[in-house]
């Protein structure tokens, strides 16, 4: 079963974090990705750029609107994702507990419904 681990945490600039915390975060994410890879469950992982670099596309009154930045005004951001393939929710919870942001934010576990392989949609199993 495929699950996406959505990593939510406070948004801070590199200067607010400091070089030591940035380096510690990089090490933690590298170690976590390695753990998932070695367990054979990692499908993909991505740490996202700050939400200020996002663009939001919506439709309002039939017109497409493009907005710089995130749509939601919040102090937390969706900071990254890991997609894993594990037997069940209990296994996904086990890996989510090891995600670095669990110490300073939240990790949302969401099962996938369908996914694309070579341009074709496949149901999640």
- Divide the 125 residues of the chain into consecutive groups of 10 and give the mean pLDDT of each group: 90 87 90 96 88 80 83 71 94 93 87 86 84
Does the pTM of the predicted model rise above 0.85?
Answer: no
pLDDT value, residue 84: 96
d(CA 107, CA 104): 10
- Under 8 Å between Cβ of 10 and 16: no
The pLDDT of residue 78: 83
- Model pLDDT, residue 73: 58
Give me the pLDDT at residue 81, please.
93
- What pLDDT does residue 77 have? 78
């Amino acid at each position: 079963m495929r699950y996406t681990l959505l990593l939510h945490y406070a948004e801070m600039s590199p200067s607010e974090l400091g070089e030591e915390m940035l380096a510690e975060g990089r090490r933690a994410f590298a170690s976590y990705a390695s753990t998932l890879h070695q367990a054979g469950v990692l499908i993909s992982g991505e740490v996202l750029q700050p939400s200020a670099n996002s663009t939001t596309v919506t439709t309002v009154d039939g017109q497409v609107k493009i907005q710089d930045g995130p749509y939601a005004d919040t102090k937390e951001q969706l900071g990254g994702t890991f997609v894993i393939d594990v037997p069940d929710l209990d296994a996904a919870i086990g890996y989510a507990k090891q995600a670095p942001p669990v110490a300073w934010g939240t990790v949302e576990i969401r099962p996938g419904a369908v996914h694309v392989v070579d341009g074709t949609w496949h149901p999640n199993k």
